[in-house]
Chain A
Amino acid sequence: MTAETAPDQEPNHGARLLSMWLLLSASCDPLFWFLAGPHIPPGRMSSSAATQQTDFNVLAMIAIPVVIGVLLYFGYALTYWRAKDGDDTDGPPIHGNAKIQVTWMAVTTALVLFLAAFGTVELWTQQGAGAGEGPSPIWKPDSSNILEVQVIGQQWAWTFRYPQFGGFETTALVLPEGQPIQFDVTSLDVIHSFWAYQLGVKADANPGVNNVAYTTAKQLGQVTVRCSELCGLWHGAMYDYGKVVTATAFQSWARQSEVQLASITRMLPPFALTYDPTNVPVLNEVLIKLGLTSAGGGYYNSNDLEQP
């Protein structure tokens, strides 16, 4: 099988490569789709997670033949086109091949345009696929019964507020199955990123900005919440757990929490989409009275005319 064939019996390398590539791609793609595909993270616990898994697998169907093609080609070249010891001659002076170049460009362009169109459709039809859409989302779930959950990141903990239940605040994320969920993600200090791993939701928590992401949980179970944007010292330890429960269990939990936490909720700042932790009016008065600051706890003196 080595390159001992005389030049006049030169095999048809192109046909050989093509058939080997077709055979390998045609066997590896289904293997991946059926064996690995259903296990690709983040699973199918929510609508957005399922979208991400599907997209990953579709991309893999294209990526696998590409990787196989290039590796196979280089392997083949190294097997058949190595110079023998003592062979100082040059190869054939091929400067290019217009047909191959144009075909290559056309195929890669078509693939790329398909991928871009596919990704856009998946974003559009899947309500942003679980990614943070900013303060004014354009792709929303088609439902009037959306559960709002506010996610507040601060160094280095997550808290959650449920505005439809009096705005109580908790560190335990509990979500209903089957109801579209709107996460309003914001931060009190630096940039964090809310990553509900199993739900396939990721949205940066920016100070002073509301970042909205949608998902619908499809299965019951535990959810890991991690911070995925470096936020300082204990970034590595900034995680939390949540759970998806049935819709009725969620309703009873939420109503119970609303009542139990009512006294604490009264002491919290009223629910808002963003918060400014440097502006705590009561604290500012105290600080000014004690003479500890003239700037009212804020960045600039509130009496300063030049304040932006």
Chain B
Amino acid sequence: MIEIEPGSVQQPGGGGDEPRQQPRQRSWWLRPAMHTALIGAVLGYVLGHWLGNYFASGYQQIASADSSDFPIVLGYGFAVIGWLAGLGVFNDLILQMLGKPVAANTNHLGGGLGKYFRYSLDHKVVGIQYLVAMVGYFLTGGLFAMLIRAELLSPSYHLLTASAYLEVVSEHGTMMMMMMTSVVMGPLGNYLVPLMIGSKRVAFPRVEALSFWLTPCSFIILLSSVLMGGFPTGWTGYAPLSIQAGAGMDGYAFAFGLMGISATLAAFNIVVTIICYRAPGMRWSRLPMFVWSMLTTGFLLILAAPVLIGGMYMILTDRTAQTGFFVNQVGGSSYLYEDLFWFFGHPEVYILALPGFGIVSEIIPVFCRKPLFGYKTAAAGMLGVAILSFFVWQHHLFDSGMDPDMRPLFMLTTELISIPTGFIYLVAMGTFWKAKIRLTVPMLFALGMYVNFLFGGVSGVFLSDVPVDTTSHGSFMVLAHFHYTIMGGLIFAFMAGIYYWLPKMMGIRLNEKLGKWHFWTMFIFFNSTFMPLFVLGELGMPRRVFEYARNLETLNDWVSISAFCLGASMLIFLFNFVMSTLFWRERETGNPWRARGLEWQVSSPPPPDNFAHIPVVLAGPYEYGDPNALPVADLNPPAGVISGALAGAGEA
């Protein structure tokens, strides 16, 4: 349903422009926030662990096992519930169940930083929470990568033990994959989609806030598994290795499953918001490309992430309740896990690509000062990628002993997906044609994304060909390929998005000079880190090894040193981000890029209710250079216009 009341509420219970009835606030330490959540989580873990031991002690099989997984998993479960209870997530629900009046959630109000540590229902607060958290997870995962490269300086193990190396590799992979599912949808999607579609709110603010507050749990649990010896399976968690592994494995399965829940919730909210909360006149043909990418990503997550949740749940029951889903000897199958995992895992890869496509397609028209070339082609490309991504997962199993006549089929579908991906390039190249290009920092990152993703995509075609894949499969070639698409594609696009939208989100501009330094160091060292990995893989270096052939040492040292420089480039970004947002605070209130996007038509940062009135969208967001183009929206539509627009909205 489209919200039609101009003075309507942004939050359940929150008022529009009227003065709010605020209850007297208690002192900050008595109000639910992150510190009470932490207390709740610790208490929950202790309770769950005790309960687990209490239940499990009755079972000989579990009591006699070398490590008891049941109390650990139950501890994690109760810790999450305790964390949410401590945040006050359940307060309103309990009040409602008891039939008591529910006060308005005012957690997003106030000027201080306190609101970012509370369970806030404002999509703009959630967006900022996500942004800071995701950057934090990314840098943590990056530190693990630095450790991996330090170990690979020498062809035999010298810095880490074999088990510590595997722990580090697995933590790096899982942490990165977990954060990448939400790295764009969380911060930019939650923050910008309502602004871009002319809505005052998202569809399900509580679901959205819950999706964010599950991520800290998930990452803390994943990190804490290091304390229990980590897990040796990498991010794929293949059974039966994951059934055999020590107690740290529970952290992996629980955290990854929890992140799956978080991503599903986030996606659900975004998809419903996009479908139901578009302002009058925001037709499908006027939807910004970024919103298209969020819509397709959302559908992928809703359909794929539950499979991950199921797979992780089965690992946990295999490990705790002694089920045998993945144990061959009792009728289970390790292929079941591989199929479940990659049925999630391959759409996941496109969950990581589509938001990047969306961001760069959104940015290039602004800095080319031209309309997006082939709007429908771009949208069709995203839809095509999204649909096809469900039909390619078995290319991860080409050598696994799958049904051999399935291989040509999956080779075909995998290669077909390069057609809609090619549309994204066609659109970019068409937009650049005779453009007026401005090389701002966001534009540089967008260009970097197109260049990097080109190598990632083309190497993907090599991997889709079964004969070529036979040598490349499971080697550093694959590793280079997906780092080119994820780090070179998604993270470059994410950086473009941060530099482009931070003036909108925080009213603050990141330092341009440092931004250019950041781009050039990141671009050069990214390529000098990952380009040699293609060669290393083809020369016979498998993934996730701490020992490699001595003749590969020079190349590996080159890669490691480049990787350290890449890490230093991230420090430039961190420095710029912290200094610009906290200390320099170069104000930017208007529309610094002269962009037509609807989100730029309100002040920066946007007022609490986004729009004083629901706008009426009059034209598409990319009509640059067209003297006859209408302004993108009427922000103060005359009374009665909205109901008229709604009456005619049937054909939209």
Q: Within the complex, what minimum Cβ distance (angstroms) separates B420 from chain A?
A: 9
Most buried by A among B369, B401, B412: B401
Cβ 8 A contact of A232, one of B236, B241, B465: B241
Rounded to whole angstroms, the CA-CA distance of A70 and B469 in the bound complex is 24
List residues of B (119-175) whose CB comes within 8 Å of A's CBs. Answer: 157, 162-163, 165-166
- Binary interface encoding of chain B residues 614-627 relative to chain A, with 1 for a CB under 8 A from any of its CBs, else 0: 00000000011110
Asked if A236 and B546 make an inter-chain contact with CB atoms under 8 angstroms apart, the answer reads yes
Asked if A71 and B454 make an inter-chain contact with CB atoms under 8 angstroms apart, the answer reads yes
Which of chain A's residues have a CB closer than 8 A to the CB of B451? 71, 74
Asked if B432 and A74 make an inter-chain contact with CB atoms under 8 angstroms apart, the answer reads yes
Q: Closest chain B residue to A300 by CB distance?
A: B330
Cβ 8 A contact of B244, one of A66, A132, A189: A189
Which of chain B's residues have a CB closer than 8 A to the CB of A237? 162, 546-547
Which of chain B's residues have a CB closer than 8 A to the CB of A129? 466-467, 470
- Binary interface encoding of chain B residues 317-328 relative to chain A, with 1 for a CB under 8 A from any of its CBs, else 0: 000000010011
**CB of A291 within 8 A of chain B?**
no
Asked if A206 and B401 make an inter-chain contact with CB atoms under 8 angstroms apart, the answer reads yes
Q: Within the complex, what minimum Cβ distance (angstroms) separates B568 from chain A?
A: 26
Q: Within the complex, what minimum Cβ distance (angstroms) separates A47 from chain B?
A: 11
Rounded to whole angstroms, the CA-CA distance of A118 and B415 in the bound complex is 12
Which of chain B's residues have a CB closer than 8 A to the CB of A307? 330
- Binary interface encoding of chain B residues 414-446 relative to chain A, with 1 for a CB under 8 A from any of its CBs, else 0: 011011001101100110111111110000000
Cβ 8 A contact of A87, one of B436, B540, B542: B436
Asked if A308 and B470 make an inter-chain contact with CB atoms under 8 angstroms apart, the answer reads no
Task: Assess A228 versus B475: contact at CB under 8 Å? Given A41-B540, A87-B436, A129-B470.
Answer: yes
Q: Closest chain A residue to B535 by CB distance?
A: A41
Asked if B467 and A77 make an inter-chain contact with CB atoms under 8 angstroms apart, the answer reads no
Task: Assess A91 versus B434: contact at CB under 8 Å? Given A71-B454, A115-B465, A300-B330.
Answer: yes
Rounded to whole angstroms, the CA-CA distance of A170 and B394 in the bound complex is 33
Which of chain A's residues have a CB closer than 8 A to the CB of B436? 81-83, 87, 89-91
Asked if A82 and B437 make an inter-chain contact with CB atoms under 8 angstroms apart, the answer reads yes
Rounded to whole angstroms, the CA-CA distance of A126 and B340 in the bound complex is 30
Rounded to whole angstroms, the CA-CA distance of A104 and B548 in the bound complex is 43
**CB of B377 within 8 A of chain A?**
yes
**CB of A285 within 8 A of chain B?**
no
- Binary interface encoding of chain B residues 354-393 relative to chain A, with 1 for a CB under 8 A from any of its CBs, else 0: 0000000000000011110111110000000000000000
Task: Assess A91 versus B240: contact at CB under 8 Å? Given A109-B419, A116-B415.
Answer: no
Asked if B329 and A134 make an inter-chain contact with CB atoms under 8 angstroms apart, the answer reads no
Rounded to whole angstroms, the CA-CA distance of A13 and B331 in the bound complex is 65
Asked if B408 and A138 make an inter-chain contact with CB atoms under 8 angstroms apart, the answer reads no
List residues of A (190-212) whose CB comes within 8 Å of B's CBs. Answer: 190-191, 193, 195, 197, 200-204, 206-212
Most buried by A among B232, B471, B544: B471
**CB of A29 within 8 A of chain B?**
no
Q: Closest chain B residue to A50 by CB distance?
A: B467
Asked if B438 and A83 make an inter-chain contact with CB atoms under 8 angstroms apart, the answer reads yes
Asked if A59 and B468 make an inter-chain contact with CB atoms under 8 angstroms apart, the answer reads yes
List residues of B (543-569) whose CB comes within 8 Å of A's CBs. Answer: 543-549
Asked if B437 and A83 make an inter-chain contact with CB atoms under 8 angstroms apart, the answer reads yes
**CB of B50 within 8 A of chain A?**
no
Asked if A104 and B324 make an inter-chain contact with CB atoms under 8 angstroms apart, the answer reads no
Q: Closest chain A residue to B549 by CB distance?
A: A224
Q: Closest chain B residue to A123 by CB distance?
A: B466
Q: Closest chain A residue to B157 by CB distance?
A: A236
Asked if B369 and A83 make an inter-chain contact with CB atoms under 8 angstroms apart, the answer reads yes
Rounded to whole angstroms, the CA-CA distance of A137 and B405 in the bound complex is 9
Cβ 8 A contact of A56, one of B166, B398, B412, B468: B468
- Binary interface encoding of chain A residues 203-243 relative to chain B, with 1 for a CB under 8 A from any of its CBs, else 0: 11011111110000000000010111111111111010000
Rounded to whole angstroms, the CA-CA distance of A90 and B626 in the bound complex is 8
**CB of A278 within 8 A of chain B?**
yes
Rounded to whole angstroms, the CA-CA distance of A118 and B327 in the bound complex is 38
List residues of B (464-523) whose CB comes within 8 Å of A's CBs. Answer: 464-471, 473-475
Task: Assess A96 versus B373: contact at CB under 8 Å? Given A81-B434, A230-B233.
Answer: yes
Binds A, one of B39-47, B103-111, B187-195, B455-463: B455-463
Asked if B404 and A134 make an inter-chain contact with CB atoms under 8 angstroms apart, the answer reads yes
**CB of A42 within 8 A of chain B?**
yes
Asked if B473 and A228 make an inter-chain contact with CB atoms under 8 angstroms apart, the answer reads yes
Asked if A52 and B165 make an inter-chain contact with CB atoms under 8 angstroms apart, the answer reads no
Rounded to whole angstroms, the CA-CA distance of A56 and B535 in the bound complex is 13
Task: Assess A93 versus B623: contact at CB under 8 Å? Given A81-B437, A134-B404, A226-B540.
Answer: yes
Task: For the complex, count residues of A whose C-beta is within 8 A of B.
Answer: 101
Asked if A70 and B450 make an inter-chain contact with CB atoms under 8 angstroms apart, the answer reads yes
Rounded to whole angstroms, the CA-CA distance of A139 and B408 in the bound complex is 12
Asked if A101 and B329 make an inter-chain contact with CB atoms under 8 angstroms apart, the answer reads no
**CB of B447 within 8 A of chain A?**
yes
Task: For the complex, count residues of B whose C-beta is within 8 A of A.
Answer: 96
- Binary interface encoding of chain A residues 25-63 relative to chain B, with 1 for a CB under 8 A from any of its CBs, else 0: 000000000000000111000001101100110010001
Q: Closest chain A residue to B412 by CB distance?
A: A116
**CB of B411 within 8 A of chain A?**
yes
Which of chain B's residues have a CB closer than 8 A to the CB of A145? none
Rounded to whole angstroms, the CA-CA distance of A226 and B537 in the bound complex is 13
- Binary interface encoding of chain A residues 4-26 relative to chain B, with 1 for a CB under 8 A from any of its CBs, else 0: 00000000010000000000000
**CB of A131 within 8 A of chain B?**
yes
**CB of B643 within 8 A of chain A?**
no
Asked if B411 and A59 make an inter-chain contact with CB atoms under 8 angstroms apart, the answer reads no
**CB of B400 within 8 A of chain A?**
yes
Most buried by A among B327, B370, B404, B461: B404
List residues of B (242-268) whose CB comes within 8 Å of A's CBs. Answer: 244-245
Asked if A191 and B241 make an inter-chain contact with CB atoms under 8 angstroms apart, the answer reads yes
Rounded to whole angstroms, the CA-CA distance of A128 and B432 in the bound complex is 43
Rounded to whole angstroms, the CA-CA distance of A232 and B232 in the bound complex is 6
Q: Within the complex, what minimum Cβ distance (angstroms) separates B300 from chain A?
A: 22
Which of chain B's residues have a CB closer than 8 A to the CB of A204? 399-401
**CB of B335 within 8 A of chain A?**
yes
Q: Closest chain B residue to A59 by CB distance?
A: B462
Task: Assess A230 versus B327: contact at CB under 8 Å? Given A83-B436, A134-B404.
Answer: no
Task: Assess A112 versus B426: contact at CB under 8 Å? Given A134-B402, A236-B165.
Answer: no
**CB of B538 within 8 A of chain A?**
yes
Asked if B368 and A235 make an inter-chain contact with CB atoms under 8 angstroms apart, the answer reads no
Asked if A77 and B404 make an inter-chain contact with CB atoms under 8 angstroms apart, the answer reads no
Rounded to whole angstroms, the CA-CA distance of A121 and B416 in the bound complex is 17
Which of chain A's residues have a CB closer than 8 A to the CB of B469? 131
Asked if B450 and A51 make an inter-chain contact with CB atoms under 8 angstroms apart, the answer reads no
Rounded to whole angstroms, the CA-CA distance of A136 and B425 in the bound complex is 41
Which of chain A's residues have a CB closer than 8 A to the CB of B234? 230
Which of chain B's residues have a CB closer than 8 A to the CB of A208? 328-329
Rounded to whole angstroms, the CA-CA distance of A202 and B472 in the bound complex is 9
Asked if B371 and A235 make an inter-chain contact with CB atoms under 8 angstroms apart, the answer reads no
**CB of B651 within 8 A of chain A?**
no
Rounded to whole angstroms, the CA-CA distance of A119 and B469 in the bound complex is 11
Binding site for B on A (CB under 8 A): 13, 40-42, 48-49, 51-52, 55-56, 59, 63, 66-67, 70-71, 73-74, 77-78, 81-83, 87, 89-97, 100-101, 104-105, 108-109, 112, 115-116, 118-120, 122-123, 126, 128-139, 185, 189-191, 193, 195, 197, 200-204, 206-212, 224, 226-237, 239, 276, 278-279, 298-300, 307-308
What are the 10 tightest A-B residue pairs by CB atom distance, in nearest-first order? A90-B625, A211-B401, A236-B545, A208-B328, A129-B467, A91-B370, A228-B474, A93-B626, A83-B436, A134-B401
24 contacts between A and B (CB under 8 A): A59-B461, A59-B462, A70-B425, A71-B451, A71-B454, A89-B625, A91-B368, A97-B373, A115-B465, A116-B416, A118-B465, A123-B408, A132-B400, A138-B404, A193-B399, A195-B474, A206-B334, A212-B401, A224-B540, A233-B162, A233-B166, A235-B544, A236-B165, A239-B547
